[in-house]
Amino acid sequence: MHSSAALDAKTAPCLLVINAGSSSIKFSLLAGIGQATLNAFAHGKIEDIGSAPHFFADDCDGRRLAERRWERPTSHEDLLDHLIAWVEAHLGPNRLAGAGHRVAHGGLFRTAPQLITPIVLAHLRTLIPLAPLHQLHNLAPIEALAARHPGLPQVACYDTAFHATNPKISRLYGLPRALTDAGLWRFGFHGLSYEYIAGELPKLEPKARLGRAIVAHLGSGASMCGLVGGKSVASTMGFSALDGLPMGTRCGALDPGVVLYLLKEKGMSGAALETLLYQQSGLLGVSTISSDMRTLLASRDTRAQEAIDLFVYRAAREIGSLAAACGGLDALVFTAGIGEHAPQIRARICQQSSWLGIDLDVDANLAGAPRISTAASPVSVWVIPTNEELMVARHTFALAINRPPERPMCLSTKESK
């Protein structure tokens, strides 16, 4: 963060970036005179939505700008109103030039960030069943901002878009063609994170620009992506954000026969299945203790250890699968909460993947160095912090600030109803 950010906020266009979920709403305010100069000068979060919400905003130096707590559950609508009111008061009503949103699902045809119009918003609503844990909440701040600032350009940045480069064969399921034609494809998610890493890795490893890399986005939501020449060729997530690795509370890859069994033999409803697979499974379900890897690593409970073992086993197994899809492996990148901050997990995954040519530098890994493989390792291994908010800001600047006059610039809630 540069000290000029405060000046930028007064003289340059300001952008609001929102990443809204079911239990938290993250936000950043950025300013700059170009995509390359964008800097966050304020950021914050509304956390613990659904229980006792907590709002806070900090400046670039970590100083607390504002804070509020609610003692009981409060609606998303009221919380968004509080956030937007704070942004208006902090910036002034005429200084916000655009808003960018992380949107989980863009479907088959929305393969790049785009300005939000009533038609775009209506289509994104139809995708809510494909990402029930995310999409509805992603769209709520778009509508809240449109109600208060109908002339404000807003940009949707899709987590599925980066995977549009996947070969068609990698996106197919073995289902009847009519269902495939109806949209039952592998989509892949966490695309904004992978897009950021694809841009950062060549700065550290120039050969990676044309090489074969696997990026492990390991957090409460976890997935992996295979890159060739910086383009996505395969992902562990598929039609939904349930597939692939076991996550904090999500199951990961699951035999569809299990779902049939739960429906037919256990009499579970669709709503109960959704809750089970999205909110009660993964690390939480296996351990019965916590969805937080930090808590599990600190526990001596055998169930916690088994949850960790499963996570590591599945990660190493997916690395082998993605290496096959890439035709080999030149670099492995760890990112997101677990990937960036859990050296024990990185070490165990690398150990189980050593057959690919990974030689871990133990000291570098413990120190959290950018490169955590030895100089002689055939496959280089890296830890690169991701920055999805910056990717959203860059796309928003390009579309909202550098907008050709003929492009639609406003989303009116009256038009969208």
Helix, coil or strand: residue 388: helix
The C-alpha atoms of residue 115 and residue 318 are separated, in whole angstroms, by 35
> Of 20, 158, 167, which is closest to residue 84 (Cα–Cα)?
20
Alpha carbons within 13 angstroms on the beta-carbon side of residue 189 total 21
Distances in whole angstroms, Cα of residue 167 to Cα of each of 13, 329, 417: 38, 18, 37
Judge contact between 278 and 250, C-beta under 8 A: yes
The C-alpha atoms of residue 223 and residue 231 are separated, in whole angstroms, by 16
Helix then strand count (H, E) for the chain reads 17, 13
> Of 413, 406, 391, 395, which is closest to residue 152 (Cα–Cα)?
413
The C-alpha atoms of residue 174 and residue 249 are separated, in whole angstroms, by 27
b vs e for 273-294, b when ≥16 Cβ sit within 10 Å of the residue's Cβ? Answer: eeebbbbebbbbbbbeebbbbe
Judge contact between 208 and 330, C-beta under 8 A: yes
In sequence order, the β-bridge partners of residue 42 are: 29, 59
Active-site option among 8, 48, 59, 159? 159
Concerning whether 159 is annotated as a catalytic residue, the answer is yes
Please report the sign of the dihedral spanned by the C-alpha atoms of residue 326, residue 331, residue 337, residue 338: positive
Chain CA centroid to CA 385, Å: 13
Please report the sign of the dihedral spanned by the C-alpha atoms of residue 141, residue 186, residue 229, residue 206: positive
Judge contact between 244 and 254, C-beta under 8 A: no
In sequence order, the β-bridge partners of residue 20 are: 25
Residues with active-site annotation: 159
